Every structure is written in C-alpha cells, then in structure tokens.
Structure 1
C-alpha cells in the first residue's frame, strides 16, 4: 500500500481523485424512515492520521458491493467516491462534507496499520451537563459504571 494519501481536512468537491488511509471509528445502520425494518444506508465515521474525521455513507444500492466491507476499528485505504455537502444529513463528524460510496469506490483493508487508532474523544460529565449546546458531531455512547 505504498503511496501518498490525502487528508480528510482538505476534502472538497473540486476534485474526485481523493485517496485516504483511514480508520473506521464508528459504523452503524440507518433505518428507513417509513419501513423501520429496512436498512436505508450504512453510515460511518472515518479518521485519518491527523485525527480529522468525516462521515461516509454506503447507500442501499451499494450494499451488495460494500455492505460488509468496512468494520469498526480497522484501517482501510479508500478511493473513488462522491463528495457531498451534508447540509441535510446528521452530523456525526465535524467535517462539512460526507463521502458517498459508489460502484467505483474501492475499499482496501490495511493489514499492518501505519498509525495508532484514537477512536474516543472523552469529555467529563460536568462539561456535558453544563454545556448550553452540544455539538452534533459528539457521539455519545452508553457507559456502564459499577460502584464497589
């Protein structure tokens, strides 16, 4: 997998020749708004070596080709996708763009990652409770606590 890679912070619609080496930090299924049993898309948050993140989407038409090709906490080289302004999408990453997989998209797993994964961006609970507004790009998960 030799070669140079682009950075997620530089994404724009002026070129279609992006090539990223990224981790899949989070992957989830977005259900159809009318038929709740039907998966509408597979959504993910990708992170590059600089820690920049972007949301990516595998639309329903891409399930056959890419539906099971991306797993959380694994590194990939991805290229040939469509860059879209995500004004109407949920904001799971701070980047204003989203990457949409197409039939031309390639996803190559990286067997020996070249940089460490840093999937979590922790905030203390007091900061979250006192915030006037929480940034939409914060992913909040369930935490189990035990007291001894």
Structure 2
C-alpha cells in the first residue's frame, strides 16, 4: 500500500513548511545573465486553478534541469524552497517565489486540467487611476481603435 501526500495549490505555497508537492504547467521559461554574476533560469508555473508563481533555478542546478524542463509541459514537483518574493520586478503577483534545490524532484505527467493559458485583464480605468502593482511586469495587449480603408487609383 502506497501512501502519498496530496497535491497543494500554488496559492497555498508559503515559507511556513517544507516539503511541498504541486502539479503545474511551465507556462514560460527563460535564462537570465547579468554579468558579472553567473546566469540562472527563471520560470513561471501555473496550477489548474490558474494561479502562478515564479521559480528560480540557480546555475548550479541549471545543468541538471535544462533538458527536463520544457515549456507548456505539466509536472509533479516536490522538495523545493519557498521564499518571500522580494525581487525588484516580479512576473507574478504571488507573495512568494520558489527555488529549486539539490533535492528537488520533478516528474513529467499529463494533467489536462491545467490550462495552457490564463489571462488576467486590468481595466483601463484602473490603470488610469493608478490602481496597479508598480513592481509587477505585465503583458500589454494592443487594441485597434479604428480601421480606415484607403484606395489609390493607378494612373
């Protein structure tokens, strides 16, 4: 008989306990190099509720994980650290962020309930009123205001 821990939600992650076990989709992954410091990998993970968290993979663990971490793939992850998200610029509004450690384990597994995309829109009125998180990086979706058809006569 196998007794396994239940999966936790991203919204519940905090620095009060260890270990955590989550099911997630990697929705974005990129490499950061800020000389003279060594580079590292960053990711955004999302669970089936659409909640997101930022993850850092230090250079020491980068080589171990780079072949196994694939954007838009779903995984079970456990044994990672959770810290307050004190980064100057954040990619997620979650109060915490994750960091892979030497004991982190991941297993790719199909979780069709985890959406590929989850959009969070901000009303223009809120932006104009200054009602937004100034240290949060966001995507901008452009709006077409009007289209004009122009015809030219050839002489």
TM score, norm. by length of structure 1: 0.77
**Structure 2: 5+ residue stretches without partners:** 150-155
Which of 20, 25, 28 pairs up with 1:26?
A: 28
- Number of residue pairs the alignment of both structures matches: 142
Distance 1:24 1:127 in 2: 31
Query: Does structure 1 retain, via aligned residues, the 8 Å contact 2:25–2:114?
Result: no
Aligned position for 2:136: 137
After TM superposition, the structure 1 stretch with the greater mean CA deviation from structure 2, 112-121 or 51-60, is 112-121
Aligned position for 2:79: 80
Query: Does structure 2 retain, via aligned residues, the 8 Å contact 1:43–1:57?
Result: yes
Secondary structure at the residue paired with 1:9? helix
Query: Does structure 2 retain, via aligned residues, the 8 Å contact 1:82–1:99?
Result: yes
**Structure 1: 5+ residue stretches without partners:** none
Aligned position for 2:120: 121
Distance 2:93 2:138 in 1: 11
Q: Displacement, 1:115?
A: 3.4
CA RMSD of aligned residues (A): 2.8
Aligned position for 2:42: 43
Secondary structure at the residue paired with 2:39? strand
* Bigger Rg, which one: 2
Change (3 A) 1:121 1:68: farther
Query: Does structure 2 retain, via aligned residues, the 8 Å contact 1:58–1:67?
Result: no
Distance 2:132 2:31 in 1: 23
Distance 2:24 2:129 in 1: 30
TM score, norm. by length of structure 2: 0.74
Distance 1:69 1:40 in 2: 18
Query: Does structure 1 retain, via aligned residues, the 8 Å contact 2:50–2:115?
Result: no
Distance 1:129 1:91 in 2: 18
Q: Which runs of 4+ in 1 moved over 3 A?
A: 126-129
Q: Displacement, 1:19?
A: 0.5
